[in-house]
Structures are given as structure tokens and as C-alpha cells.
A = this chain, B = another copy of it.
Amino acid sequence: MTPPRTLPPVPSPRSIPVTIGAMDSSSTRSGGRTRREATRQKLYEAAVTLIAEQGFSATTVDEIAERAGVAKGTVYYNFASKSVLFEELLRHGVGLLTASLREAAEQTARDGGSKVDALDAMIRAGLGFIARYPAFTQLYVAELWRTNRAWQSTLMVVRREVVAAIEDVLRDGVASGEFSDEIDVQLTAAALVGMVLVAALDWQSFQPERSLDDVHAALSRLLQGRVSGRG
């Protein structure tokens, strides 16, 4: 098991602003980042690994504060509640993932690659993301199909973002005739997500010594139907 890396700070705070205490506190800054931002970052880092390991309910706010090296009160000074901390963490992480996927697809398009190439590039980007932030990925998978939870709507939004990035490429491919028009875009996109997700988590958990290239090659082969047939 690799030491779980955590999510990096984000340049522009967050896409969907959430009112927490004073907005736009461009107050005390040093080195371009406010003290608050640094603290929130530490809390994200602590929370993501703890929740990935134990789940949301089993993780206490005291634990998060302790791992972040901060007093409990600070958690509540920075986030309205435990759930809000978690929701912002989700948005933060998924934002990074979708950006990475779309960037991969666009780069391929710029290079004049086919849609299969784009899909392949997105698989690689997905694997890269999971390798960098395994804890976040774990947490995301674990919460994705839960129902009756406070952050249900956040999850839906965030899920659509990821799946839509893949669906767009599939649809373009069908439109251009590169893909069969008999494929089921939504279901295929979900299946691809699952393929990468589970393979990557298996990789990280059980054979972390293998290289990204290696794992990517195995999935490419599966995607392109080069499984049957002579070696």
C-alpha cells in the first residue's frame, strides 16, 4: 500500500461558493494564500484519509482535528459542520478529476487522435488520478451509491460531471461514425468508469509495485477487444 497522497490546494477557491462565516476574506495573507486556506487544506488532507479508511460516520471530528494538528474548534470555525466539510471535500476532488479527464480528451483531439485514442487517454488520466489520490477515490466509491444521506444531491451532481465527460467522447465518436451507433452511451460510460475504478483500486491495493504504463496497457487491451485471439 502506498502512503495515501492527498488533494492539492485549488487555485480558485471553489466553483460553487458556500457561505461560511465571512466571505471573501482576502484579509491576512502571506505568500498569496490566506492562513485560513492553509488550515482548510490541512483539514481536507486529514479528513480524506481518515474517511477513506473508516467511512464518514466512523470518523470523528476529534480525529480529523488531531491529524490536522488543529483544535476541534478550528474545524467548526472553518466548516459549518462535519457534513459540509465532507461535501466540500467531494466537490474539490471531483473537480480535479473531471478537469484531468477533459484535458486528456482535448489534448488528444488537438493532436489529431481518434476517439478511441481519446478514450485511451482518459483511461490513462483516470489511472493517474487514482494513483495520486487513492484515498479520495476510495471514499468516492464507497459513498457513491448510498441513498438517504445528507450529501445525496452533491453526489449526484458530482457523478454526472465525471460520467458526462466520458459520454461526450462516446457520443462524438458515434456521430463521426467511429463507434457503432448501436452502443449504449450511458451504460458503456458507466462500464468504463467501473473498469478503470476497480482495476486501479486493485492495482493500488494488491500490486502497487506495477507501473502506470503496465496497468494502462492491460486495460487498453481489454478495451480494444484484443483479449481473444493468439498472443
Q: Chain A: residues with CB nearer than 8 A to chain B?
A: 1, 52-58, 116, 138, 141-143, 145-149, 173, 177-184, 186-188, 190-199, 201-203, 205-207, 215, 218-219, 221-231
Structural contact, B180 and A191, CB atoms closer than 8 A: no
CB distance from A202 to the nearest CB of B (A): 4
CA distance A53 to B145 in the complex (A): 8
B residues within 8 A CB of A230? 177, 180
Not counting A52-B146, A116-B228, A186-B202, a sample of 13 additional A-B residue pairs whose C-beta atoms are within 8 angstroms of each other reads A54-B57, A54-B148, A55-B57, A141-B142, A141-B145, A145-B201, A173-B228, A179-B227, A180-B230, A186-B206, A190-B199, A190-B202, A191-B222
- A1 contacts B147, CB within 8 Å? yes
Give CA–CA (A56, B57) in the complex, Å. Answer: 8
B142 touches A188 (CB 8 A): no
Please tell me which one of the listed residues B145, B190, B218 contacts residue A187 in the complex, with CB atoms under 8 A apart.
B218
Q: Which residues of B contact A225 (CB under 8 A)?
A: 223-227
- Nearest B residue to A143 by beta-carbon distance? B142
**Minimal beta-carbon separation of A174 from chain B (angstroms):** 8
Contacts of A146 in B (CB 8 A): 52-55, 138, 142
Bound Cα distance A48, B183 (Å): 34
* Chain B contacts for A219, CB-based, 8 A: 187, 191
